[in-house]
């Protein structure tokens, strides 16, 4: 069974601070997705990383896939209240199945 562990589970920071969320597994994934979910809504796909060592930037968000494709990180620079939400990582494997991490609940205070 493939498992993805996210850390931290909860993060409360002030506007303007930087933060990093981690997603770790003992399994290799073909791809790694990051989603953001707001209360009562469906997860929204932020990015997909495929190649080991790959780095993708989306405005203030930087996503990295580990060299061995077992782990990933999401770094947010100068967090804003609009970044508040639940961040989920998901590892993709054959059959188009996703294994989801438990999520990191981020709150950015103004």
Partner 1 sequence: DSGVTQTPKHLITATGQRVTLRCSPRSGDLSVYWYQQSLDQGLQFLIQYYNGEERAKGNILERFSAQQFPDLHSELNLSSLELGDSALYFCASSGRGLAGVYEQFFGPGTRLTVL
Residues numbered 44-63 forming contacts with partner 1, rule: CB under 8 A: 44-45, 48, 50
Residues 12-41 as x/- pattern, contact with partner 1 by CB under 8 A: ------------------xx-x-x----xx
Task: For residue 78, give the DSSP letter.
Answer: S
CB–CB of 92/28 below 8 Å? no
What six digits make up the tokens of 35? 């989603």
Question: 36, 27, 10: which is closest to 71 by C-alpha?
Answer: 27
CA-only gyration radius of the chain, Å = 13
Q: How far is the CB of 4 from partner 1 (least distance, A)?
A: 10
Q: How far is the CB of 41 from partner 1 (least distance, A)?
A: 6
Residues numbered 66-105 forming contacts with partner 1, rule: CB under 8 A: 88, 90, 92-93, 95-98, 100-103
Question: 104, 89, 80, 75: which is closest to 9 by C-alpha?
Answer: 104
Chain residues that interact with partner 1, rule: CB under 8 A: 30-31, 33, 35, 40-45, 48, 50, 88, 90, 92-93, 95-98, 100-103
């Amino acid at each position: 069974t493939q498992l993805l562990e996210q850390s931290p589970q909860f993060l409360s920071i002030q506007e303007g601070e930087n933060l990093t969320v981690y997603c770790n597994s003992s399994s290799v994934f073909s791809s790694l997705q990051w989603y953001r979910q707001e209360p009562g809504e469906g997860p929204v796909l932020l990015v997909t990383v495929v190649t080991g060592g790959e780095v993708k930037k989306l405005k203030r968000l930087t996503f990295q896939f580990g060299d061995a494709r077992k782990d990933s990180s999401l770094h947010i620079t100068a967090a804003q209240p609009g970044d508040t939400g639940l961040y989920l990582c998901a590892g993709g494997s054959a059959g188009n199945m996703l294994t989801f991490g438990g999520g990191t609940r981020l709150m950015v205070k103004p």
